[in-house]
Structure 1
């Protein structure tokens, strides 16, 4: 199994932008907790929307201060001041808009701030993942879907010795590594499929303010999302999960009023089936 894990690390590193130290963890949340635990980190910067909900919850658990960085409706404009030790962000803001990862990380480095990037919604797209620390969830539903777990990559250029020690304690069953290896082989195909699904919804008549080729979820602006989702959930059932939709405003999507279509819950459906769902949404909403 040691050989399989070694080959798995090599396979992941080949799809990343830096020669990270890779750690496998039982959850991405534990991975982020372990990173932020380090005593070198006292003040944490986070985007004011579009991030992972753990960006708010974990600093509170660790009794560390966090500062919300103002964004352009979720998109990070990289003009930082030395207000925090680390800055957390997601490659895709709310899974609906692309953040300029390389520019963000370069600006943070120039300010002496450690960058931490959640690449779960874009792996293995190398336009993203330029941070000092990257992490990726392999829970469900995800691009790398193992049902649980994840991995963390820490650049050898930064000092997070305490975090790396905690991360090294994480142990996973042999079956996890075998499953993850298979998921990595399928990752690019799955990512392309999800992006194509998002494009189907983006071409509809729905009020979709953000139409990006690299998004995997689609935000629909709606003044009465509670009523709309009540109607939609009666008519539409996703391939996985209870609902295809996420009501907004919500920190981990967008602060705007409306709802998000989570295309990852349709993975496995044919394009014609996705188009049919898009048409049903149009009939109910418009």
Structure 2
């Protein structure tokens, strides 16, 4: 089993190297931003130096409260909301997946307590969530956006794991008001650093103008994003297909229960009574040239369950062969108690 940590494509590495060496003096910011806007179906796009900078810029532009899932999202949502002194509302989920009844309950309760103003157009709150809950289960973005928009609430989608969705259900500006993401390693658009933010509302950029300027991506990163976006759709599809194959095979061939086994995702999360022991054993088996692909749960960024996540998204696309996937299943069977 030959597993390697995800790297930018060779074409992207060569293009970035030319910019770094001074052989290419093209300014790639506007080119990459135009391509991003086209992919997300948004009018405006900006590149930043990290995913957290993108969250900061997006959240700073929100005048009202911030709603986040109770699990399966990103710690940065909470940390940045606290940093900006925003009212923070945690929404109960179905193991990371937004439940519209629970969301409605949170909205009504927050409105009654004057945390959310459902009528003031100048004080809109926003729901921050990731395209894939815990990286393992696709959120129903259309239904979520339809619901919250009726309540005068915005949606900010972290599409780090879903940019270029071939089904056009995620990272779709027709649904989400703001789309943000990281282009660091090992994301779908992987240039080892950087981030982005897109929207149809230019006031988002006006409100965070200083942050966008201070945290602007380098031209090397912009070049990388511009080139790597061409591979996003294929990278995502191959990763999702690999995870769907693994989810089905693990359910059939082992006694492990797989969370959200029928959902699209870019990792696979297994239920286990002893996540500490299993994660340790699997780390010895799955070594990616000094990087890892195992996450122990409970973990807010994944699931608050006794579980272990196999981060298939961390693998280089060339490693997602049938033989390697079958070897992963074979290895899991060795620890199937």
Give the deviation of 1:11 after TM superposition.
1.7
Give the deviation of 1:152 after TM superposition.
0.4
Asked whether the 8 Å contact 2:183–2:192 carries over to 1, the reply is: yes
Runs of 5+ consecutive residues of structure 1 not aligned to the other structure: none
Q: How does 1:35-114 map to 2 (within 5 A)?
A: 35-38=58-61, 40-78=62-100, 79-80=103-104, 81=107, 83=110, 84=116, 85-114=125-154
Distance 1:180 1:260 in 2: 27
Question: 1:188 maps to what in 2?
Answer: 233
Are 1:230 and 2:280 an aligned pair? yes
Are 1:22 and 2:71 an aligned pair? no
Question: 2:260 maps to what in 1?
Answer: 210
Q: Which has the larger radius of gyration?
A: 2
Give the deviation of 1:158 after TM superposition.
6.0
Distance 1:240 1:210 in 2: 29
Give the deviation of 1:159 after TM superposition.
5.5
Asked whether the 8 Å contact 1:87–1:115 carries over to 2, the reply is: yes
Kindly tell me: are residues 149 and 160 of structure 1, through their superposed partners in 2, closer, same or farther at Cα, counting changes over 3 Å? closer
Are 1:254 and 2:276 an aligned pair? no
Give the deviation of 1:207 after TM superposition.
1.8
Instruction: Write 1 or 2 for the structure with the bigger share of helix.
Output: 2
Give the deviation of 1:14 after TM superposition.
2.0
Give the deviation of 1:238 after TM superposition.
2.9
1:159-201: CA deviations, max 9, x gaps?
Answer: 5632244224433332212211221111111111211221232
Q: How many residues align?
A: 283
Runs of 5+ consecutive residues of structure 2 not aligned to the other structure: 1-24, 111-115, 117-124
- Please, which moves more after superposition, 107-116 or 159-168? 159-168
Q: So what's the TM-score if we normalise by structure 1?
A: 0.91
Asked whether the 8 Å contact 2:298–2:306 carries over to 1, the reply is: yes
Asked whether the 8 Å contact 2:136–2:263 carries over to 1, the reply is: no
Distance 1:182 1:160 in 2: 24
- Please, which moves more after superposition, 163-172 or 83-92? 163-172
Asked whether the 8 Å contact 2:183–2:189 carries over to 1, the reply is: yes
Are 1:138 and 2:167 an aligned pair? no
- Please, which moves more after superposition, 25-34 or 208-217? 208-217
Are 1:277 and 2:328 an aligned pair? yes
Question: 2:57 maps to what in 1?
Answer: 34
Give the deviation of 1:239 after TM superposition.
5.4
Question: 2:13 maps to what in 1?
Answer: none
Kindly tell me: are residues 165 and 131 of structure 1, through their superposed partners in 2, closer, same or farther at Cα, counting changes over 3 Å? farther
Question: 2:169 maps to what in 1?
Answer: 127
Kindly tell me: are residues 72 and 156 of structure 1, through their superposed partners in 2, closer, same or farther at Cα, counting changes over 3 Å? same
Question: 2:18 maps to what in 1?
Answer: none
Asked whether the 8 Å contact 2:177–2:199 carries over to 1, the reply is: yes
Give the deviation of 1:3 after TM superposition.
6.1
Distance 1:104 1:240 in 2: 39
